[in-house]
A and B are shown apart, each in its own frame.
Chain A
Amino acid sequence: MTLLDHLPVLVVLIPLMTAPLCVLVDRPRASWIMALAAAWLSFASAIALALTVATSGTLTYQLGGWPPPWGIEYRIDTLASYVVLIVTAMAALVMLFAKESVASEIPERRIARFYASLMLAFAGLVGIVATGDAFNVFVFLEISSLASYALISMGRDRRALNAAFQYLVMGTIGATFILIGIGFLYMMTGTLNMLDLAARLPEVSDSRTVRAGFAFLTVGIGLKLAMFPLHLWLPNAYAYAPSAVTAFLAATATKVAVYVMLRFMLEVFGADFSLGAMPLDLILMGLGLIGIIMASLVAVFQDDIKRMLAYSSVAQIGYMLLGIGLASATGVGAAILHIFNHALMKGALFLALGAVAYRIGAVTLGDFAGLGKRMPWTMAAIAIGGLSLIGVPPTVGFVSKWYLVLATLEQGLWPIAVLILIGSLLALVYIWRLIEAAYFGAVAADAPEVREAPASMLIPIWILVAANIYFGINTDISVGAAMQAATMLMGDGG
C-alpha cells in the first residue's frame, strides 16, 4: 500500500498525533507551528481525497485490515469528502489567524495546551465525518466535544467558564442520547457498520425499539447541532470563547452535526423511513422555520456582536434543517450547499470579529462606532460577510438561499419561501445595525488610537471573503458536489 491508500485515516491521524506533541513540547511558538503544519497537511490530504473521490468514487479504508462489518471502516463518499474539505480548510485558515489572536487572549503558559485541545477538537470533527461506523461516531463526537468544552472555558471573561459548563451538561446529554440510539439499533440488527445497518434496518424498522432509537438519535443530534429549542448552549458558548475558537467551532462543529444528521437519517434509516414513515420532515421543517424567525429576531436585539452572530448561526442551522425537511433532492442539496456556504460566511465574520477584538478588546455595538475608517479592511470584510449572510448576489449566501427557495417552490410551498425571505430581511436588520455603527457612527472623543489588524489576520479573513464571492459567482464546484451528494443520499432510500 502506498501512502495515498492511507489518506482516509491520515486526515484524522495527523491532528490527533499532533495534540500530544503540542503538550510535550509545551512552547507557545513551537506548538503553533506544529498545529499549523498539521492543519495544512490535513487540508492537503483532504484535497487529495476529494480529487480521488471525484474521479474514482467512494473510498473505503479498513482499520487494522479487519474487513467490515467486523472491523471499523472509514468511508469517504462525495458528501464526506465535501465536509472533510470544509473542516480542514477552516482549520488551516483559523490556524494562520490564531497566532496573534491567541497570543493576545490566552496566558502564555496555556498556549501549548490550547493548541493541543484545538487539534483534538479538529481530529474529532474530521473523524466523525470520515468514519463509517456508528459507535466510532460517538467516540469522535466525545473527543471533539470534550476538547471544545476546554477550549471554550479558556475565554477571557469568567462567564466563559459557565458557558462551557452549560455546554458540557447539554452536550453530554446529547451524546448519551446518541449512544442510547445506537444501542437500540445494535439490539435490533447486531451490527454497527453504517452500510450494514442501512441494509438490515428495513426488515426490522416496524418495531418500537427502532422507533425509540430513531427518536433518541434525533434528539441527541438535535442537541449537538443546536436545533431550535435545543440551542440554548450555543449563544453563550460562542460569545465567550476565544475568538479563534469561536470562528473554528462556528464554521465546523454544528456543520459536522448536520452531517451526522444527514448520515443517520437519510443513509442509515433511509429517507423512506425517517422522512416518510416517521414525521421527521414536518418536525425539521417546523423547528427549522421557528428557529430562523425566532433566532433572527433575538439577534436583532443583541449588543454583543459575537452573541448576535451566534444567534444568527442558530437561524442559519434552521435553513439547513428546513432544506432536509423538504425531503427532496433539491432541498437536501440546498442544505448541504448551505453547510459549505455558511462555513465560509461565518468563518469570515467571526475571524474579522477576532481581529476587532484583537485591536479593541471588546466587540459590543458601541465599540464599532466609526470603525469603518479606522479598520477599513476588517470592516469591509465584515460588510461583505454580512451581505453574504443576508443573501445578496453575487455572494454564496444568495446561492444557497436561491436553491432553498427553489426547493420550496418545487413543492408549491410558497408560504415557506416567504418566511425564508422574512428571515433574510431580519438578517438585513441586524447586519445593518453593525454597518451603521461602523460607517456612520461618530468616534467617541476619548477613543484610543486603533490601527488596522496585522497581515497575519487579514490574509485568512480575506481568503474567506474572496471565497464568499468566488463561490457565489462560480457555483459549479460547490453546487455540483452538493447536488451529487444529495442525489446519492436520497437515491439510497429509493
Chain B
Amino acid sequence: MIEIPGLFNYWVVVFLMMAGFYVVISQGNLVKKLVGLGLFQASVFILYITMGNLSGGQAPIVTEGVFVYSNPLPHVLILTAIVVGVATTAVGLALVVRIHEAYGTVEEDEIHSLDMADEETPRKGDDRPGESRE
C-alpha cells in the first residue's frame, strides 16, 4: 500500500469543510443548501476518522503478532455523528417539502419576496432595517 503523506487527510477535511460552508452560504436553493450542509458535516467525519488512525495500525481485534491498533473510539463516536447527520438531512428535507407545499418554490429569494408581500397586504407596509434582514 502506498503511504499517504502525513497531513493529506487534514487538507481534504479543510477543503471539504470550506466547500460545504461556501455552498450553504452562497446557494439560494434550499436543497442545495442541505447538500452543502451534508458536505460540511462529512468533512468532520473524516477529521474524526483520521485522528483515530495510526500509521500501520490494525483493526482493534486482539490477535497474535499485532501490536499496533487504531483507536476505535473516534470511529465509534463518528458513527453516532453520522446518524445525527442523517437525521438532520431528513428533517431538513422534510422541511423543504413542506416549504414547497406552502410556497410553491424552494428558492430563498422567491420565498422572501412572498413573505414580504404577505406582510404588506394585511398591515401597512413598514420595511424596517432590523426586520428585513435575513
Q: Is A162 an interface residue (CB 8 A)?
A: yes
For A232, the chain B residues whose CB sits under 8 A away are: 133-134
User: Which residue of the partner chain A has the closest CB to B92?
Assistant: A168
Chain A interface residue number, banded? 35 or more
Shortest Cβ distance from residue A449 to the other chain B in the assembled complex, whole angstroms: 21
Q: A146-B84, A303-B123 are in contact. List 6 more A-B contacts (CB 8 A).
A: A168-B95, A169-B92, A176-B40, A183-B74, A302-B131, A366-B123
In the assembled complex, the Cα of A311 lies from the Cα of B81 at a distance in Å of: 32
Contact of A164 among B21, B48, B95 (CB under 8 A): B95
- Whether B87 lies near A142 (C-beta < 8 A) is yes
B→A interface (CB under 8 Å): 21, 24, 30, 33, 37, 40-41, 44, 47-48, 51, 74, 77, 80-81, 84, 87-88, 91-92, 95-96, 98-99, 102-103, 111, 115, 118, 123, 126, 128, 130-131, 133-134
* Cβ–Cβ < 8 Å partners of B131 in chain A: 298, 301-302
A289 partner residues in chain B, CB cutoff 8 A: none
When distances are taken between beta carbons in the complex, the residues of chain A under 8 Å from B74 are 183, 186
Nearest-CB residue, chain B, relative to A171? B88
Q: Contact: A169 with B51, CB < 8 Å?
A: no
Q: Determine whether A340 belongs to the interface, using a CB cutoff of 8 Å to chain B.
A: no
Binds B, one of A153-161, A267-275, A346-354, A440-448: A153-161
Q: Is A173 an interface residue (CB 8 A)?
A: yes
Write the chain A residue with the least CB distance to B77.
A135
Which residues of A are in contact with B by a Cβ distance under 8 Å?
135, 138-139, 142, 146, 149-150, 153, 158-159, 161-162, 164-166, 168-169, 172-173, 175-176, 179-180, 183, 186-187, 192, 232, 297-298, 301-303, 311, 364, 366
B81 touches A179 (CB 8 A): yes
Report A-chain residues with C-beta under 8 Å of the C-beta of B99. Answer: 158, 161-162, 165
Given contacts A169-B37, A183-B44, A301-B128, contact A153 B84 (CB under 8 A): no
Closest to A136 in B: B80
B128: chain A residues within 8 A (beta carbon): 301
- Residue picked from B80, B95, B111, B128, most chain A C-beta under 10 Å: B95
Partner of B51, one of A175, A176, A183: A183
Given contacts A162-B99, A183-B51, contact A139 B84 (CB under 8 A): yes
Give Cα distance in the complex from A153 to B77, angstroms.
29
A366 to B87, CA, bound (A): 41
Q: Is the CB of A173 within 8 A of B111?
A: no
**Distance between Cα atoms of A387 and B118 in the complex (Å):** 33
